[in-house]
Amino acid sequence: MVAKNRIFVSFAMEDKTYRDFLVGQAKNEKSPFEFVNMSVLEPWDTQWKTNCRSRIKGCDGMIALVSKNLARATGALWEVNCAKDENIPVLGVYCATIDRPTSLPSEFFGVKVVGWTWANTATFIGNL
């Protein structure tokens, strides 16, 4: 049995469907990996950043879904910076093969961004 990794999924709310696809893939019995979905579905009150940081710190890694919506997703960008501050490994995964953003926000400096494939995700999770 593959060891479970706690993975925080960061995404722009407009990309919730892609997050659902990622979670669904991990539940497939043929999946080469498993993870516990630790993403925040709705912003918390004034303690949001404190609570979110605590959840991120409790994870082994973060997958940040990358689309054209990301540049305006201030919460998701904060989550990526938070993970980097806490030395939590981050992998950026493009949501689609076409219509990708032409540039990435500065929060992704030093973050590897890859296409959405089983191999890319499994390699990241396997190296945690």
Segments making up each domain of the chain, as ranges? 5-126
Residue 110, class by beta-carbon neighbours within 10 Å (0-12 exposed, 13-18 middle, 19+ buried)?
exposed
pLDDT per residue over 11-38, tens digit each? 998 999 998 888 887 777 666 566 766 6
Q: Is the pLDDT of residue 62 over 60?
A: yes
In angstroms, the CA 2 to CA 16 distance is 26
Per-residue model confidence (pLDDT) at position 85: 96
pLDDT per residue over 72-123, tens digit each? 998 899 999 999 999 999 999 999 888 788 889 999 999 999 999 888 988 9
Instruction: Output the CA torsion 96→103→121→117 (10° steps).
Output: 30
Comparing C-alpha atoms, which of 34, 87, 43 is closest to residue 61?
Answer: 87
**CATH (residue range 5-126):** 3.40.50.450
- Mean pLDDT for 44-69 is 87
